[in-house]
Amino acid sequence: MSFDFKGKRVVVAGGSKGIGRSIALGFAQAGAKVSICARGEAALGAARDELSAFGLPAHAATCDLGVESQVKGYVAAAAEALGGIDVLINNASGFGQSDDEAGWAASLDVDLMATVRASHAAIPFLLQSQGGSIVNISSIAAYRPTTRSVPYAAIKAAVIHYTTSQAATLARQGVRVNCVAPGSVEFPDGVWEQRRADNPELYGRTLRSIPFGRLGYPEEIADVVLFLASPLARWVTGQTIIADGGQLLGV
């Protein structure tokens, strides 16, 4: 399936690596003008170059999505560079693992509050769009208890709930809000590539839990995100699509 986002302006908060990078490239390939942000300059610059290769305006800026002032400044700069915002993707994660102040702060500040802040900053522009859309990224961790990453799972569940509240709030203003909950996705320098090396037992157990016999690819999550942001999903709002290769089925 090919998507057509010609003339659309897309902001991907957390778009330099992995799933975020694939989402940004998917929109650019479909004809959109894209802005991305991240903390790491090297990966951000490399992703910007990839976006520019499609021959359309591409904007990139460093931003710590855990800092309110930086989020507001980035979204405003992205809207200026692109000429507005039609689609916002909230993708960044702090990956809070430990059940302590630091672990909870990491997930609260980035997974949840960056989603809230970027959305608030982008809504004035989305309201000026014809068919504005927000897609938040959660995780299948939101659907089951865990002993390994308690803050991450709880906050990703909050993202799903916030998605429904956003959708209810913005529906009468013509802005759709949806969510994608990926399963275990592997990519260079990502969490699961690291686990393959440093915790092969966990990696193997996770691999065996997926009926398709492999971990996901970032592009497979990006395709679902593009669908939700596209006119093909024009009658869909407040929904979370699980994209996990059957991982949650437990078969």
Question: What is the distance between the alpha carbons of residues 25 and 98, in angstroms, rounded to a whole number?
Answer: 32
Is 133 in the active site? no
Is 138 in the active site? yes
**Tokens at 178, concatenated:** 């949806």
Domain ranges of the chain: 9-185+217-249
Is 152 in the active site? yes
Residues of the chain with pLDDT under 50: none
* pLDDT for 1: 58
Which of 119, 138, 149, 230 is the catalytic position? 138
The tens digit of pLDDT for each residue in 87-100 reads 999 999 998 999 99
* pLDDT for 194: 85
* pLDDT for 195: 87
Q: Which CATH number does the domain 9-185+217-249 belong to among 3.40.50.700, 3.30.310.50, 3.30.420.40, 3.40.50.720? A: 3.40.50.720
Please report, for residues 82, 87, 212, 216, the alpha-carbon distance to residue 134 in angstroms, rounded to integers and kept in the order given: 17, 6, 29, 23
- DSSP string over 160-211: HHHHHHHHHHHGGGT-EEEEEEE--B--TTSHHHHHHHH-HHHHHHHHHTST
Question: What is the distance between the alpha carbons of residues 4 and 235, in angstroms, rounded to a whole number?
Answer: 17
Which of 93, 156, 184, 230 is the catalytic position? 156
Which of 74, 152, 162, 203 is the catalytic position? 152
Which of 35, 93, 139, 230 is the catalytic position? 139
Is 203 in the active site? no
